Amino acid sequence: MLLEVDQSQLVLVDYQVRLMPALLEGAEVLANAVRLAQLAELLRVPIFATEQNPSKLGGSVPELASALQQAGARVLSKMQFSAVEEGLGEWLRPPAKPVQGNARSLPKHLQKSVSGAERNTVLIAGCEAHVCLLQTALDLLEDEFDVWVVTDACSSRSERNRDAAFDRLAGAGVELVTTEMVAFEWIRSAEHPDFKAAQSLIK
């Protein structure tokens, strides 16, 4: 099963000023998060971000904050470790709006959009992998989203914690991918009109 760009949403978890310096391979992880945000903007994939207790941990790191702002991302401040506990699920799958008239008389492709969210695939990356990322991803699975974790854009303070998170997520049914896998699965072809722009972001 490959990623479908028109079914995807991107969630970036807690890349914050006071947290990132303490994390394993923090600079590389942050660079991949920025790439993901830029790719999502390029390919018109909705983007959401979270910030854990920002009064203590600060906001998103400036280079990511800039990419999020450029992409028009929504940012959720939270105290719970799982962003789903703070309403992320409602952002990703907003309630269907009531339809004027008889919905059954609409063409089939419009009936689908009325019945609920069309984008059920959530790509998620973030920090710390074994706490906020893990709990958010597992709650999204519980809410029947298809969850894909972008491993090279995730970190914890220790390798053991990070890898334990990946093992647990994979065991729960989450797909594990990398930033380049996401880019090339979203693009699919060297003939895609945004191929060169996407390729320049991941080189």
Q: Is residue 83 part of a domain?
A: yes
DSSP assignment letter at 132:
I
pLDDT at 110: 52
pLDDT digits (tens, 9 = 90+) for 142-201: 999 999 999 999 999 999 999 999 999 999 999 999 999 999 999 999 999 988 999 888
In a domain, 56, yes or no: yes
Kindly state whether residue 139 falls inside one of the protein's structural domains: yes
Characterize the bridge pairing of strands 47-52 and 8-13: parallel
Asked if residue 101 belongs to a domain, the reply is no
Do the domain assignments include residue 59?
yes
Domain assignment present for 100:
no
- Neighbouring C-alpha atoms within 13 Å toward the C-beta of 119: 21
Backbone angles phi, psi at 121, to 5 degrees: -95, 125
CATH code of the domain containing 57: 3.40.50.850
Predicted TM-score (pTM) of the model is 0.89
Domain membership flag for residue 26:
yes
Give the pLDDT score at 117.
54
Lowest mean pLDDT across 25-34, 44-53, 88-97, 100-109:
100-109
Within 13 Å, how many C-alpha atoms sit on residue 128's CB side? 19
To 10 degrees, what angle do helices 179-187 and 26-42 make? 10
Residue 67 lies in a domain: yes
Beta strands in the chain (DSSP E): 8-13, 47-52, 74-78, 121-126, 146-150, 175-177
Predicted confidence (pLDDT) per residue in 75-104, tens digit: 999 999 999 999 999 999 987 766 565 555
What is the rounded CA–CA span in Å between residue 169 and residue 135? 10
**Arithmetic mean of pLDDT over the chain:** 91
Q: Per-residue pLDDT averaged across 126-133, rounded?
A: 98
Distance CA 4, CA 39 (A): 14
- Give 20-46 as a DSSP string: GGGSTTHHHHHHHHHHHHHHHHHTT--
> What range defines the domain where residue 190 resides?
5-92+107-202
Quick one: average pLDDT of 3-26? 97
How is residue 105 written in tokens?
Answer: 């008389």
Q: How many domains, in total, are found in the chain? A: 1
